[in-house]
Structure 1
């Protein structure tokens, strides 16, 4: 699947509207729609924000991996949940 198709599928799994995802990423809903239709491609920074908002790996969104999550993202989330010592 394409980047746009993967974004649409994962967004719907999270039950996010295009507007909700756009707000989390800091762009417009119209832009999310254009990404989902593969009319335009996001910058690497925006693609990373989309992946983080959807809690999937960037590799998965761009079609380089069939695995939704990758170890760095899981590890990153683990670090966020740790309490300071």
Structure 2
């Protein structure tokens, strides 16, 4: 997937227009259109603003992350904090997360 395709996909998932993204990223809507069509590559500064506006990382947009990487920047920041915790604290948190995921999957299975 190209940079432009990723910008467009993330923008559509966020349900914002090119104009809205342009306003947030402090660039013109026409530039957003050109980025999405891969006619022009945004500067590093604009790319960072676009990534922030779309709640993705610049690495994701540039194709430097694997598909399974965390794209939710708020969640990624929290996991980075967890990574710096002592092992016993991390293990306790992992048990809570595992229990929540198990409960979520169970609930989803019964909703089908």
Q: TM-score per shorter chain, which class?
A: 0.7 to 0.9
The answer to whether the aligner puts 1:39 opposite 2:67 as a matched pair is no
Offset, 1:74: 3.1
Larger displacement relative to structure 2 (37-46 or 60-69): 60-69
Distance 2:15 2:72 in 1: 22
Offset, 1:69: 1.8
Q: What does residue 64 of structure 1 align with? A: 64
The answer to whether the aligner puts 1:27 opposite 2:27 as a matched pair is yes
- How do residues 6-21 of structure 1 correspond to structure 2 at under 5 angstroms? 6-21=6-21
Q: What does residue 77 of structure 2 align with? A: 75
Higher helix share: 2
Where structure 2 has 5 or more consecutive residues not aligned to the other structure, the ranges are: 79-112
Higher RCO (C-alpha under 8 Å, 6+ residues apart): 1
Distance 1:47 1:16 in 2: 17
Divergent runs of 4+, >4 A: 70-73
Q: What does residue 50 of structure 2 align with? A: 50
Q: TM-score, normalised by structure 2?
A: 0.62
